[in-house]
């Protein structure tokens, strides 16, 4: 036997750690600079990627240093981390990062101190975390990552055998299956109801696959119950002394698994619903608005016809359309309402928004060809794409209010000469506005702009009649009650703008890169006086509120998982106490400290992994149930009829990673404790 290489001195470990930490910080900084320059990633994504890379670097540094120092060496690491914090402080002071606070531009010294302390704490904790992985594979001697008898022993500690695996499988699979099936049934029932309402003979669509799955679930559940009863009966027949006692740790293991799965379940369901809200809102906002606006620092934008092809040629731009925007007042009969009048080009509007698909009745093209708008004696039926999404008592009421009213008061329209009407320009209005004004396709509405003529008696607002060409439904109350659309030439005449427009609407191939692509468009046009505003900027308050809410929910719910991991911690401590003798025997047979540590880490991770898997399955099934069952929301409050759910694979993976990482952390204390037990600790007891 040769003597093993000795551990490095504390000063060496400390210097090496400091060097690695500084290298990691440099890596973060240069990575964010490089990615910021060469890709179109958002600032959040840049931060996430570069700081994520730095965190992994710190983990790896701790891992490598555990081999150098042949152990955790917390003190040299702590010194290195504090020095790292000091260096970070001075570097940050030199770099002058922007402040998080709104009342100053550069970060204050207090903020920098917090940053530096955060860097020091993060580097120490992550390095210790990495070192624990090093210790796990035997950093204090010859590394050995094998996991063979350790797994066998861990399995006996958890009582993980064929029977318990079957129980876990059934407990993990049957409830999600039932939930999923419940969702399918709800959907089928809804179809039947709709079919009945429409006087169409009902057809219940239940596929063979569904029946087979449910039958399988029921059979498995029944078999399990029978087996359980049989085992009970067998047990009762045994002599009391022969009964194998179930140790408390087995019950605690079950409770820990349940705890983790409940936490993961809650986290996935809530995050899916929150991102459902977010994506629903995003879909609706981007249905009416484009991804970005190209504006000019000037009122003169008469060169737009030459700019448009240049913008369309930029890589990443999927659509361009000109627009004019101004505030007006709309009136119909006795009703008056404020509105945003948007001049659009119907031909290209579809390339930047979903406007043509939001039509309930009429046609978007009619704003340019008003002679095609049917006269009021012919009732235009709802036939557009958006009308198919609508239904329910609310919508029926709206149609009744708007259409019946006109049938009962036809004389209002007949005062005007029908021939003169044919020459009025067309206007498209939102569903809510049409409800408010009681105006339907073919009706005449008056548009009033405060930008009027100067007369000897003072400024007089200009007003003009338009005929309603189509009714639009976007799903956003604000848009449906505020926006009205006319053709670009008509708007230019109405506002006396000459051949100017306000700006261009842009659509990109990648929504999330809108900001960077906007910069690219401006650069292609030669910069100033052009500028872009992306959708996130235009709706910043809404989305930042949503994001903050989601983050807060994620943090609160992560605490559930954290609590569940404390369950794992206490279960493992109980197990270590229960198995002290066994640990001693294993060590007397030559088991290494790292092997003993592995046994308990693997146990905790197994509990965490089973709980996480069950929670994810249950979460997925719950999401699909919510989606299919369609939990009703109050439409006046949310303007969404059902609770939206967005099942995002990445989100599920993140939840799983958080849960497993926390489980791992929970194992470290008991596992390290167990590995440091002296072999005689368990032998002396008797």
Partner 1 sequence: MSLDPLVEARGVHKSYWLGEKEIHVLRGASFALGAGEMASLVGPSGVGKSTFLHVIGTLDPPTEGEVLFEGRDAFRMSEEELSSFRNRSIGFVFQFHYLLPEFSALQNAAMPGLISRLPREQAEAQAREMLQIVGLGERLDHKPGELSGGEQQRVALARALVLKPRLLLADEPTGNLDEATGEGIHQLLVELNQRLGIAAIVVTHNPRLAERMPRRLRLTDGLVVDA
* 153 vs 262, beta carbon nearer partner 1: 153
Q: Is the CB of residue 503 less than 8 Å from the CB of residue 28?
A: no
Shortest distance, CB of residue 681 to partner 1, whole angstroms? 10
Helix-strand-coil percent breakdown of the chain, rounded to 5? 65, 15, 25
Question: Residue 336 is encoded by which pair of tokens?
Answer: 């008056």
Number of H helices, E strands in the chain: 25, 10
Where on the phi/psi map is residue 487: left (φ > 0), alpha (ψ -120 to 50), or beta? beta
* Residue 163 interacting with partner 1 (CB under 8 A): no
User: Could you give phi then psi for residue 505, rounded to 5 degrees?
Assistant: -90, 140
CB of 517 to partner 1, least distance (A): 56
- Would you state the structure tokens that stand for residue 369, as one six-digit string? 């060809």
Q: Does 247 bind partner 1 (CB under 8 A)?
A: no
Taking CB under 8 A as the binding criterion, the range among 42-50, 413-421, 521-529, 676-684 that sits at the site for partner 1 is 676-684
Question: Is residue 588 a contact point for partner 1 (CB under 8 A)?
Answer: yes
Instruction: Output the six-digit token pair for 207.
Output: 């596929």
Binder of partner 1 out of 17, 119, 311, 591 (CB under 8 A): 591
Please count the residues of the chain: 686
Which residue from 669, 676, 668, 685 is spatially nearest to 578, judged by alpha carbons? Answer: 685
According to the binding rule CB under 8 A, does residue 26 interact with partner 1? Answer: no
Binds partner 1 by CB under 8 A, chosen from 1, 94, 208, 555: 1
Distances (CA, A) of 322 to 55, 221, 285, 358, 359: 46, 63, 18, 19, 20
Q: Which element (helix H / strand E) includes 37?
A: helix 10-38
User: How many residues sit close enough to partner 1 to count as binding (CB under 8 A)?
Assistant: 32
Q: How far apart are CA 26 and CA 39, in angstroms?
A: 19
- Please give the biggest Cα pair distance in the chain: 113
For β-strands 503-508 and 292-296, DSSP reports them as antiparallel
* 209 or 684: CB nearest partner 1: 684
CB of 248 to partner 1, least distance (A): 16
Shortest distance, position 133 Cβ to partner 1, whole Å: 17
The region of 144-152, 413-421, 488-496, 560-568 touching partner 1 under the rule CB under 8 A is: 144-152
Q: Is 674 in the site for partner 1 (CB under 8 A)?
A: no
Spell out where 530-625 has E strands: 530-534
Is position 679 an interface residue for partner 1 (rule: CB under 8 A)? yes
Instruction: Tell me which of 138, 430, 487, 670 binds partner 1, using CB under 8 A.
Output: 138
Is 4 near partner 1 (CB under 8 A)?
yes
CA distance 121 to 124: 5
CB of residue 144 to partner 1, shortest distance in Å? 7
Tokens standing for residue 523: 């650069």
C-alpha torsion sign, points 100, 101, 107, 112:
negative
Cis peptide before 529 (omega within 30 of 0): yes
Q: Is residue 680 involved in binding partner 1 (CB under 8 A)?
A: yes
Applying CB under 8 A, which of residues 47, 141, 459, 529 lies at the interface with partner 1? 141
Beta carbon nearer to partner 1, 502 or 586:
586
- Tell me, residue by residue from 524 to 563, as one string, x for binding to partner 1 by CB under 8 A and - for no binding: ----------------------------------------
Residue 658's alpha-carbon distances to 131, 276, 552, in angstroms, are 19, 21, 15
Task: List binders of partner 1 among 349-408 (CB under 8 A).
Answer: none
Query: Of the candidates 249, 272, 567, 595, which one interacts with partner 1 according to CB under 8 A?
Result: 595
Strands (DSSP E) contained in 355-502 are 359-362, 426-430, 444-455, 458-472, 483-487
Cα-trace Rg, the chain: 34
Q: Are 413 and 378 in contact (CB under 8 A)?
A: no
**Residue 153 binding partner 1, by CB under 8 A:** yes
Instruction: Using the rule CB under 8 A, give the single segment among 187-195, 271-279, 463-471, 590-598 that binds partner 1.
Output: 590-598
If binding is defined by CB under 8 A, does position 586 make contact with partner 1? yes
Answer yes or no whether residue 637 interacts with partner 1 by CB under 8 A. Answer: no
| Nearer Cβ to partner 1 (507/587) | 587
Task: Give me the least distance between CB of 643 and partner 1, in Å please.
Answer: 48
Query: 355 or 599, CB closer to partner 1?
Result: 599
Residue of 40, 50, 66, 140 that binds partner 1 (CB under 8 A) = 140
When the beta carbons of 139 and 257 are compared against partner 1, the nearer one is: 139
Of the candidate residues 199, 589, 637, 649, the single one contacting partner 1 (CB under 8 A): 589
593 binds partner 1, rule: CB under 8 A: yes
For position 671 contacting partner 1 by CB under 8 A, the verdict is no
Name the nearest CA neighbour of 50 among 82, 83, 26.
Answer: 26
291 binds partner 1 (CB under 8 A): no
User: How far is residue 332's CA from residue 336's CA, in Å, rounded to a whole number?
Assistant: 7
Cβ 515 to partner 1, closest distance in Å?
55
Contact 509, 345 (CB under 8 A): no
Q: 447 with 464: CB under 8 angstroms?
A: yes
- Are 338 and 327 in contact, with CB atoms under 8 Å apart? yes
414 binds partner 1 (CB under 8 A): no
Q: Least distance from C-beta 13 to partner 1, angstroms?
A: 17
* Residue entry with tokens 């600079």: 33
Q: Which of 161, 172, 210, 205 has its CA nearest to residue 187?
A: 205
CB of 221 vs partner 1, minimal distance in Å: 29
Task: Tell which residue, 504, 371, 368, has the closest CA to residue 428.
Answer: 368
Pick from 46, 403, 525, 585: which binds partner 1 (CB under 8 A)? 585
The residue from 142, 163, 193, 540 that contacts partner 1 (CB under 8 A) is 142
- Binds partner 1 (CB under 8 A): choice among 44, 144, 385, 396: 144
Distances (CA, A) of 607 to 139, 161, 353, 465: 25, 14, 49, 72
Q: Which of 102, 105, 148, 236 binds partner 1 (CB under 8 A)?
A: 148
Instruction: Choose between 586 and 662: whose C-beta lies nearer to partner 1.
Output: 586
The binding track of 416-455 with respect to partner 1, each residue x by CB under 8 A or -, is: ----------------------------------------
Instruction: Pick one of 100, 106, 149, 228: the residue that binds partner 1 (CB under 8 A).
Output: 149
Q: Give the integer Cα–Cα distance in Å for 675 and 584.
A: 10
Note whether 461 binds partner 1 by CB under 8 A: no
686 binds partner 1 (CB under 8 A): yes
Residue 678, CB-side half-sphere exposure with 13 Å CA sphere: 5
Q: What is the smallest separation between the CB atom of 134 and partner 1, expressed in angstroms?
A: 14
Should residue 241 be labelled a site residue for partner 1 when binding is judged by CB under 8 A? no
Residue 487: Cβ-neighbour burial (10 angstroms; 0-12, 13-18, 19+): buried
Q: Provide the binding-site residues for partner 1, judged by CB under 8 A.
A: 1, 3-4, 138, 140-142, 144, 146, 148-149, 152-153, 156, 581-582, 585-593, 595, 678-680, 683-684, 686
């Amino acid at each position: 036997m040769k003597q093993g290489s000795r551990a490095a001195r504390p000063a060496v470990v400390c210097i090496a750690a400091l060097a690695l930490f500084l290298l990691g910080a440099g890596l973060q900084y240069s990575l964010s600079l490089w990615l910021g320059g060469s890709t179109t990633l958002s600032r959040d994504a840049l931060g996430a990627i570069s700081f994520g890379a730095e965190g992994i670097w710190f983990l790896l540094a701790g891992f490598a240093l555990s081999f150098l120092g042949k152990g955790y060496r917390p003190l040299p690491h702590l010194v290195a981390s504090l020095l790292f914090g000091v260096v970070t402080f001075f570097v940050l002071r030199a770099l002058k990062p922007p402040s998080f606070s709104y009342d100053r531009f550069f970060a204050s010294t207090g903020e920098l101190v917090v940053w530096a302390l955060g860097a020091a704490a993060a580097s120490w904790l992550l390095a210790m975390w990495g070192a624990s992985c090093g210790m796990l594979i035997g950093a204090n001697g010859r590394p050995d990552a094998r996991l063979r008898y350790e797994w066998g022993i861990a399995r006996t500690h958890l009582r993980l055998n064929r029977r318990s695996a079957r129980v876990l499988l059934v407990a993990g699979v049957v409830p999600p299956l039932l939930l999923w099936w419940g969702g399918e049934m709800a959907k089928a029932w809804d179809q039947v109801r709709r079919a009945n309402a429409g006087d169409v003979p009902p057809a219940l669509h239940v596929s063979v696959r569904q029946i087979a799955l449910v039958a399988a679930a029921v059979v498995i559940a029944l078999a399990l119950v029978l087996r359980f009863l049989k085992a009970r009966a067998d047990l009762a027949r045994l002599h009391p002394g022969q009964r194998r006692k179930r140790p408390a740790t087995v019950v605690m293991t079950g409770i820990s698994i349940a705890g983790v799965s409940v936490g993961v379940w809650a986290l996935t369901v809530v995050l899916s619903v929150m991102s459902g809200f977010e994506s629903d809102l995003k879909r609706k906002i981007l249905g009416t608005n484009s991804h970005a606006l190209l504006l000019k620092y000037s009122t003169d934008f008469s060169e737009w016809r030459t700019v448009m092809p240049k913008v369309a040629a930029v890589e990443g731009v999927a659509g361009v359309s000109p627009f004019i925007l101004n505030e007006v007042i709309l009136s119909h009969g006795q009703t008056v309402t404020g509105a945003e009048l948007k001049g659009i080009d119907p031909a290209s509007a579809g390339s930047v928004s979903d406007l043509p698909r939001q039509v309930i009745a009429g046609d978007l093209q009619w704003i340019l060809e008003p002679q095609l708008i049917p006269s009021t004696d012919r009732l235009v039926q709802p036939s557009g794409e958006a009308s198919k999404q609508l239904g329910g008592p609310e919508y029926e009421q709206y149609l009744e209010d708007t259409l019946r009213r006109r049938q009962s008061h036809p004389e209002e329209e007949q005062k005007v000469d029908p021939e003169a009407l044919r020459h009025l320009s067309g206007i498209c209005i939102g569903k809510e506005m049409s409800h408010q004004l009681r105006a339907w396709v073919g009706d005449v509405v008056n548009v009033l702009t405060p930008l009027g003529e100067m007369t000897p008696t003072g400024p007089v607002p200009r007003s003009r009649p338009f005929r309603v060409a189509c009714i639009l439904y976007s799903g956003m109350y604000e848009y449906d009650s505020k926006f009205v659309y006319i053709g670009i030439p008509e708007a230019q005449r109405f506002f006396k703008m000459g051949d100017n427009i306000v700006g261009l609407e842009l659509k990109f191939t990648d929504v999330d890169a809108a900001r960077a692509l906007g910069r690219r468009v401006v650069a292609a046009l030669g910069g100033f006086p052009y500028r872009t505003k992306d959708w996130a900027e235009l709706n910043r308050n809404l989305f930042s509120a949503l994001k903050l809410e989601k983050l807060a929910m994620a943090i609160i719910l992560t605490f559930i998982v954290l609590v569940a991991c404390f369950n794992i911690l206490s279960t493992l401590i109980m197990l270590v106490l229960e198995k002290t003798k066994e640990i001693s025997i294993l060590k007397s047979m030559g088991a290494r400290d790292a092997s003993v540590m592995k046994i308990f880490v693997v146990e905790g991770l197994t509990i965490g992994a089973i709980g996480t898997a069950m929670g994810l399955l249950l979460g997925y099934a719950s999401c699909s149930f919510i989606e299919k069952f369609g939990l009703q929301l109050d439409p006046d409050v949310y303007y969404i009829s059902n609770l939206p759910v967005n099942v995002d694979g990445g989100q599920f993976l993140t939840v799983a990673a958080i849960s497993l990482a926390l489980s791992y952390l929970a194992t470290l204390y008991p596992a390290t404790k167990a590995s440091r037990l002296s072999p005689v600790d368990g032998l002396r007891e008797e």
